[in-house]
Amino acid sequence: MSIQVGPYQLNSIALLAPMAGTSDKPFRMLCKSLGAGLTTSEMVVIQAHLLNTNKSKYRLDFKGETAPISIQIAGSEAQELAHSAQKAVEFGADIIDINMGCPAKKVCNKASGSALMQDEVLVKNILESVVSAVNIPVTLKMRTGWDADNKNAPTIAQIAEQAGIQMLSVHGRTKADKYNGMAEYDTIKSVVNQVNIPVIANGDIISAKKAQQVLDYTNASGVMIGRAAQGNPWIFSEINHYLNTKEISDLIPLEEKKTTILKHIQQIYDFYGDFLGLRLARKHILWYATHLDKNHMQQFWQTVNKITNREQQFTLFENYLNQL
């Protein structure tokens, strides 16, 4: 099972969602090693006055990653996004992903992210401008619509295909939903029926069986995994195994998981340095502890969250894992 995006054949149809604060370089490389067919960067706004910030430095570092490298750009104006796409190519992008899926206020207040879906003329201008600005595939991440009364994803999907977009990822919630309630897949199914380019279903896909159910219902070309990968990057290999064999994969040995987890935490330190690495590792430690030991992790978390020394943090977490 594969997906074709321009010249790139994705050998797994389980993709990692771009997530601010999560899909950084260490996590992308981890998920790809565990079977993700494509990993996309955290959302970036590539403007001259932002390029020298630490956030941009880390978000635009793709050294050592395997192709295709997908960079997600955000913005509110066609020419601004076209320029961002060109700069992203300079930073190593093989695929440009346009963000029209983020419901966060700090994105939507700038009329970007999912807020763009209100203005279909602007959407058309943006997509056409970005596609014409670069010679690599452009993809689009969006929601089902603005709110429950304005689910215009099928219309935007048609606009996108006509503009030259080569893959669509649709989160089964509206902008107004944020992350509340349950994702719905009827609109995604409608999008699939409207276009002839790959459509990726996203939202509440938390297991291999759920992935199969969503694929069967929507006829989507693939699934995109977001929050379900936090603390459980093995979900990609589980989905791949189930889709290929229709059988649940054997449980990954705990010792193997421990090794993978500690390697990931070390890579966070190495990438960000001691000060920032320690702070960014905390959420991953929480997610891993929740995944492995949901009933007893609260006391451990209260202790590890107070630590301000990298070596102490790592040793405490290692000892915690060894007690499982």
What confidence tens digit (pLDDT) does each residue in 168-215 have? 999 999 988 888 889 999 999 999 999 999 999 999 999 999 999 999
Question: Does residue 265 or residue 296 have the better pLDDT?
Answer: 265
Domain count, the chain: 2
Instruction: Report the percent of the chain where pLDDT is more than 70.
Output: 94
pLDDT over 50 (residue 120): yes
The least confident of 22-26, 52-56, 175-179 is: 52-56
Residues 281 and 186 in one domain: no
CA distances from 207 to 21, 242, 254 (A): 22, 10, 18
Q: Which residues are catalytic?
A: 102
Question: Does residue 299 or residue 111 have the better pLDDT?
Answer: 299
Structural domain for 142, as ranges: 3-245
Residues 302 and 237 in one domain: no
Q: How far apart are CA 318 and CA 7, in angstroms?
A: 42
What confidence tens digit (pLDDT) does each residue in 60-104 have? 999 999 999 999 999 889 999 999 999 999 999 999 999 986 655
Which residues are CB-neighbours of 232 under 8 A, at least 6 positions away? 287, 291
Single-letter code of the amino acid located at 276: L
Which among 185, 219, 245 is the end of a domain?
Answer: 245
Which among 183, 213, 245 is the end of a domain?
Answer: 245
Q: Long-range contacts of range 46-52, CB-CB < 8 Å, 24 or more positions apart?
A: 46/73, 46/83, 46/84, 46/87, 46/88, 46/91, 47/80, 47/84
Centre a 10 Å sphere on the Cβ of residue 104 and count the other Cβ atoms it contains.
Answer: 15
Residue 277 has a pLDDT of 97
Q: What's the CATH number where 187 sits?
A: 3.20.20.70
pLDDT, the chain, mean: 92
- Return the closest-CA partner of residue 22 out of 40, 45, 38: 40
Residues 287 and 227 in one domain: no
Region 11-39 average pLDDT: 97
